[in-house]
Structures are given as C-alpha cells and as structure tokens.
Structure 1
Amino acid sequence: MPLQPWMKLISVDDHLIEHPMVWQDRLSARHRERAPRIVETPRDGLPAVQSWLYEDRPYPYIGLNAVAGKKPEEYGIDPVRYDEMIPGCYDPKARVADMDIDGVEAMMCFPSFPGFCGTVFMKGDDKELSLQCVQAYNDFVLDEWSAAAPGRLIPVVILPLWDAQLSVREIHRTAAKGAKAISFPDLPHALGLPSMHTDYWDPVLSAAEETGLPLCQHFGSGGATSVPQVASDAPFAVMINLMGANSMHATADWLFSPALHKHPKLKIGLSEGGIGWIPYIVQRADYVWRKHRSYQNINQDVKPSELFQKHFHGCFIEDDFGVDNRHAIGVDRITWECDYPHSDSFWPASRKRAAEAFANVPDDEVHKMVELNARRFYNLPDAAPAPRAATVS
C-alpha cells in the first residue's frame, strides 16, 4: 500500500548547524571572549575557512557532515564556510521550506558544534562558562530555532552532564519553556562519567520522568572512545557500518542496570541506531538473563524484553530488514527519521523513500511508525483525524 497523503511524517532524528551568534548574543559580557565564536583563517586564493573557537581551543568543523543538496559522489568534504551549505542547515525558516519540499511535517534536531549531547561544554575548563553555554544553546533552541515554526521544529535540549543537580534544574527549566526531549549520552562511562549501573543519574532520570521528557541517545554521543574500534588502516566505511553497535551496547547496558527498575516511567529513544538488530539483542538479553541471573547482582524478576517493550523505541532511515521484521520488534516501538542535513538522509526525496520502505505494510501500521508513535513518545499534539474511506451506498 502507498504512503497515504494524509499521513504526516515526523522525523525523530535530524541536526541543526548553529549560526555564528548563538552564544555571542546570549552570554554575559565577561564570558563572550572565551565563549564559542566563529573565527576566519585565510587560505591562499580561496575564501577564508570559518571555524569555532571556544576557550582558545579551535573546532575546525562548522557543519560536520552538512551535505544536504549534494550528490553522494560529492560527499567527503565537509563545509568550511556557511555559504558552502544550503540555508536550511542553519536557518529555521529555510529548514521548514526544505521540509515542505521533502514532505516532512516535523523534525527533532540535535546539536552540531556542542556534540550530539553537549559534550564539548562538559570538557570546558571554566564550568561557570560551560553552564552558561549549555543554557544559551537551550534558549536558542527553544526561543529562536523551534519558535520559528512551533509544532514543526521539535525542541531537544542538552544538559550540564558534569553535575547531576545542575542537570535536574536544567530539565525543569527547559521543560517549563516547552522542551520535548533531552539529548543524553549513549554510553556515559565512555566520557568518564558514572555509568548507568550507579545511582549518580537517579535524580536526572527522576526529573525526566516527572517532566515526561524522553532521553534521546544518539549513536556516537558517548564520544570518540565509544565508537566501534576498527583497524587504523580500515576505510571510514567500516566505522559507518558499525555505528549502530553503539545503540546495541547502550541497550544492553540499560537492560541489565537497576535504572529502569527504579524509574518505571522513563522513556528512551535510540536515535539513529537503526532497528533491524533489535530482535536479536533483546532475545539474547533474555537468554543471558535466564542462564546467568542467579549469580549476578541484576534484577531476578523482570525479563529484559519486558523492559524494552516498556521503555524503548528505535528509529530508522533505511532499514528494510527491520521493517520486514517489525512485529518481532513491536510496531509500537518504531519511529522514522530523516537525518537532514547528514549524508544518510534522502532529502529531498525522503517521502518517496519512505513510501518504498512501507510499500507492503498496512496503513494502520505505517501511520504508527511515521507519525503516531512519535506523537506518543514525545507528547506532541494530536493531528487532525485521518479521513475515513468513502462508503458506497
């Protein structure tokens, strides 16, 4: 069956490129000189390279993988100037226009310069400045980016991960302003933070429960040490192919931690992790639990598969195997993503590719995966009811 015209595509994983004044416009005067700002480096015979400077440390990529509008044959060179990107990367009104071209109703955008969950600021030397940078980013997302198109650009916020109590306050502050999700590291221990097997995160998880904000764990958000380890001489394609393994690792971590048992209302999104692997890793977790739980300090009563069905959802860009095996995953656990402006995106043909992916799927299941599940997970307003089929008298 085709993707029906009345179905609204909601993407739960996309990215924004921060414009040059995000922090300069929002930070106090005494912090601006060390706050993130754009600097230009001359090149012989070419326009200057633009890059971020934060606390005297250079960050060379202003638009990591911001290649929307290019052909696959042109991938591989990231933009070094804003005028090398299409405006939809950094301008919210242009983004909405690009969404209209693509047939996408709404999208959730993760940060670029700060890292997918704000880890750049966690590594800052001046933690007062770091906190201001986190808050400035969130205010930008809430007051400028998402405010440009309410209901269409869904606000995802970041946390001061180095301090659990500050994170709790930021969750409540941003939830009151309309935040819909929290970007959270997929493997905190890989960043030198406490793992999910400790009680460090309990106040943060409780705050997420209280506000109803899901934790979005974008694959690779745990930092460079969390990505799959590949041979030094392997092509980058090997790492790209294995990135979903981060989401598998994160899922196993959660399923055998005490966190989900202490926080029964917690919602976790496995952002950009794919879905085809889910039946295996969940089945494997149940097997390990049955065979090995008696001698380990893990929950003895609840199967990991029950936890997965209660707390998690996955998403996909292209995962035909996952769609074919959707009932083993749970149709209610699957969402769709566009990944604009990254190289995995099909923009400006996302709706066309989604129609191909769902060609043999019943309408009611398609509607859940492209729209209704996202509305439920992220507490988004209901859309107008779908039209009823005409009856013949």
Structure 2
Amino acid sequence: MPLQDHMQLVSVDDHLIEPPSLWEDRLPGKFREAGPRIVRMDMSKSAGDEGLSAALLNAARQGKETAASERLADVWVYEGRIYPNIGLNAVAGKKPQEYGMEPASFSDMLPGCYDVHARVRDMDIDGVQSALCFPSFPRFAGTVFLEGQDKELALLSVKAWNDFHLDEWAAAYPDRFIPMIILPLWDPEAAAAEIHRCAAKGAKAITFPENTVGLGLPSFYTDHWDPVFRAAEETGMPLCMHFGSSGKPPITSPEAPMAVMIALFGTNSMDATADLLFSPVFYKFPNLKVALSEGGIGWVPYLLERIDLTWERHRWYQNVNKEVRPSDLWRRNMFGCFIDDFEGVARRHKVGIDNIMWECDYPHSDSNWPNSREYVTKILQEVPDEEAHKIVELNARRVFNFPRP
C-alpha cells in the first residue's frame, strides 16, 4: 500500500556541496588566501602541477578523453593543497551511464547541490519533507581540517562551516533541514566547546568518524573523547557516523575495482557497531545516541547475534562489561539508517522498529531522486502503517529532537 499522506519523509543522510564563497565570506582577511577557496583548473594542463594531489590526478585520468576546453574543473584549494569536487558526489538527475569520478564543476551539478532554495524545490519534487545534510569538501566528518597546518585557521574554518550551515542553510527553511555540525577533531576540549556553542544556535546533530584510529587519533576505548561524548550527551545531539568517514575504505586488494569498495562500505558500520558495543562509551555516557549513516540495516540481526554469542562465551577473561548484553545497548543507543535495504526491512523486528531511520542520499549515486517517495513505498509495501511511519519520519524526529512545526 502507498505511504499514507500524513507520513512525511525525513531523510537522515543527504549531502550539500559547499558554495564557492563559504569560507571567503566568513574567514578573517589574513586567512582568506590560505583558507578554502574555489579555483578553476584546466585538467588537460595540470598533470605536471607540483601541488596537484594524486587523488585528483587519478580521478582526472579516469575521465573520458575530451577536448581541453571540456576538461575544466572547479577544485578547492586549502593551504596550497588541492581537493577536487568529485563528480560521483553530485550526480542527482544523471543516468548511471553518466556517473564518473572525474572532478566536477558547479555547472555540471543541479543547483540543488549547493543552493538551498533549489534544494528545497528538489526535495518537493522528491516528496521529501526534511533532510540532514553532511559536508562534502570537508569530508563527511570534517576530517579535511585535521590536515590543516595552521590550527587557528583550521578551527576558524570549522566554525565557518557550522555558521554557514546553522545561519544560512538550515535557517533558510527551519522545518526542512536538521542542522548538523562538524568538529575540530584534533582538540576534544575545543570540540566540546563548539558543540555547546552550536547547540545554543539550534544545532541538532554532530558528524563524527566511525573509526578515529584510522585518522591517527585515539580510539573509543580511551578517555580521550570523553569531553566530546559528554557534550553530545548534555546537549542531546546524536553522533552521526557516516560510512567512510574514518578514511579507511574497505578494499580487498590493490587490483579490485571501486565496485568492491562500494559494495563493502556497510562493513565500516559493522566495525563501528562492534567497537562501540564492546567499548566503555555507552556505560560512561548512557544517553549518548549514535546513528550509523548510510550503513544499511540488513546486517544488524546477524552481527548482534554474533556479538551476543561472543559476549556470552568470552567476556569472563576479557576487559569488557560482564553484566549488560551488547544487543541491549544497541536498542538503547544505536540506530541503523538505510536507503535500499529490502532484506533489512524484512527483518526489521530483529533490528528494532524504533532503531531504524530512512535516508535519501541526495545528490549522491545511491539516491533515488526524484522518485524517493515512490521507491520507499515499494520497500515498505508489506510494512504496517504504524511501523512505516516510525521508519520514514517519527524515529528521526525523536532521535534528532526535530518535531513537526
């Protein structure tokens, strides 16, 4: 049966492409040259550029052979380092045959990728009422600024992104966007302060790496992140751990095509789940919420069963909690998020009806735009109305404290 008219779609994983002037408009004058800015680059002449990153070169070389005039790309420059706008991150409206990794220009994208007014029009076309939007240039968890040599500039850049998101993007349509922030991950105390600063401005969500060790940072098993987790708990803001935010994509061999990595990305969320359920995090911060963004849910019943079995047999000789079953922590603290997951929906009661949220993923390649409402109806056609309403709207509004106006 179709979704009932009173059920609104709330996506907990969309993305925005930062407009070119975001940092130039907000950074102090002395930092504007070193801070993030857009440069138009001729990719046909850039192969020998000393500052061009290997990732950008590889992406360009994978592109189709075209005339030099057609190889122009808009790239971000930050402290002299070059970061491409990867084309695959902005493919809404294109056919799969047109997807590619080559760097993109703003002219290659739908305006809804970077213009909030156009985004709302695209959401209306898609039947999506509200969305949570992750960063693009700063990466999903803002980890680009970990690479900053000037940490004063890096902190100001983090704050500039947050102010843009809170004061301009989400504020333009307060009932349409769940306001999200990034953190200065190199300094937990500064990160906690930024959480409190942004909570006072209306922030509702925090993007955070699904594995900090891959970024050269301390793990969840240490007390390093306690200021961050405490601030998130105090402000009631969930941590959104998007797959791939650790900088460690799942790949099996150097020769494997990118398709292997894409197919296995959900394993990043599985790793994060096992890590968190065996770590001290949810015992120290029992009200902390974690959403596994774009991780899918079909794997959850198996992994919870496996984790519980491991806990039952092996907890006695290890430094893990011996009283609380890990799957109980899942139901209290963690949430699975899906775009396409017929298997997960079929086993939704093993996942937990209250622990499932829906995602659109506009403008990425997994999105079903402009047919999201039609596609969600297909996925949930055998699901009772009460459960479907929780999955597409009510759970997200509860977890992110984002009620209907």
User: Where on the TM-score scale, by shorter chain, does this alignment land: which range?
Assistant: over 0.9
How many Å separate the matches in 2 of 1:96 and 1:301? 47
Contact 2:188 2:224 in 1 (8 A): yes
- Matched residue SS, 1:205: helix
- Matched residue SS, 2:140: coil
Corresponding residue for 1:315?
337
Shift of 1:46: 2.9
How many Å separate the matches in 2 of 1:333 and 1:221? 21
How many Å separate the matches in 2 of 1:235 and 1:332? 36
Corresponding residue for 2:390?
368
Q: In structure 2, do the counterparts of structure 1 residues 104 and 332 end up closer, same or farther at CA, with 3 Å as the change threshold?
A: same
Shift of 1:62: 5.7
Contact 1:65 1:78 in 2 (8 A): no
Shift of 1:156: 0.9
Matched, 1:295 2:317: yes
Cα deviations by residue, 1:100-136 (Å, 9 ceiling, x for unpaired)? 0000000000000001010000111000000000000
How many Å separate the matches in 2 of 1:45 and 1:231? 36
Shift of 1:64: 4.8
Matched, 1:344 2:332: no
CA RMSD of aligned residues (A): 1.1
Matched, 1:19 2:19: yes
Shift of 1:80: 1.9
Corresponding residue for 1:253?
275
Matching of residues 209-220 of structure 1 within 5 Å: 209-220=233-244
Q: In structure 2, do the counterparts of structure 1 residues 58 and 207 end up closer, same or farther at CA, with 3 Å as the change threshold?
A: same
Match of 1:117 among 117, 141, 148: 141
How many Å separate the matches in 1 of 2:70 and 2:278? 53
- Matched residue SS, 2:75: strand
Amino acid at match of 1:16: L
How many Å separate the matches in 2 of 1:86 and 1:45? 21
How many Å separate the matches in 1 of 2:19 and 2:70? 22
Matched, 1:171 2:163: no
Shift of 1:169: 0.3
Matched, 1:356 2:397: no
Contact 1:182 1:215 in 2 (8 A): yes
Amino acid at match of 1:310: R
Cα deviations by residue, 1:224-263 (Å, 9 ceiling, x for unpaired)? xx22132111121111000000000000000000111000
Corresponding residue for 2:69?
45
Matched, 1:9 2:33: no
Contact 2:74 2:103 in 1 (8 A): no
Match of 1:129 among 130, 150, 153: 153
Q: After alignment, is 58-67 or 365-374 more displaced?
A: 58-67
- Matched residue SS, 2:129: strand
How many Å separate the matches in 2 of 1:39 and 1:8? 39
How many Å separate the matches in 1 of 2:257 and 2:103? 21
Shift of 1:76: 1.7
Amino acid at match of 2:2: P
How many Å separate the matches in 1 of 2:100 and 2:69? 22
Shift of 1:78: 4.6
Corresponding residue for 1:96?
120
Contact 1:103 1:351 in 2 (8 A): yes
Match of 1:283 among 305, 320, 323: 305
- Matched residue SS, 1:315: strand
Task: Figure out how many residues of one structure are paired with residues of the other and give that number.
Answer: 381
Cα deviations by residue, 1:326-347 (Å, 9 ceiling, x for unpaired)? 0011111001000000000000
* Unmatched runs of 5 consecutive residues or more in structure 1: 384-393
- Matched residue SS, 1:343: coil
How many Å separate the matches in 2 of 1:138 and 1:151? 18
Contact 1:208 1:215 in 2 (8 A): yes
How many Å separate the matches in 2 of 1:363 and 1:60? 43
Identity fraction in percent: 60
Corresponding residue for 2:222?
198
Cα deviations by residue, 1:126-159 (Å, 9 ceiling, x for unpaired)? 0000000000000000011111111202111000
Contact 1:63 1:112 in 2 (8 A): no
- Matched residue SS, 1:104: coil
Contact 1:62 1:81 in 2 (8 A): no
How many Å separate the matches in 2 of 1:68 and 1:6? 27
Shift of 1:79: 5.2
Amino acid at match of 2:195: I
Contact 1:63 1:78 in 2 (8 A): yes
Shift of 1:197: 0.4
* Unmatched runs of 5 consecutive residues or more in structure 2: 45-67
Contact 1:62 1:113 in 2 (8 A): no
Corresponding residue for 1:390?
none
How many Å separate the matches in 2 of 1:34 and 1:117? 21
Corresponding residue for 2:352?
330
Corresponding residue for 2:81?
57
Matched, 1:70 2:83: no
Corresponding residue for 1:160?
184
Corresponding residue for 2:57?
none
How many Å separate the matches in 1 of 2:233 and 2:285? 7
- Matched residue SS, 2:159: helix
How many Å separate the matches in 2 of 1:237 and 1:45? 30
Corresponding residue for 2:36?
36
Shift of 1:81: 0.9
Contact 2:357 2:395 in 1 (8 A): yes
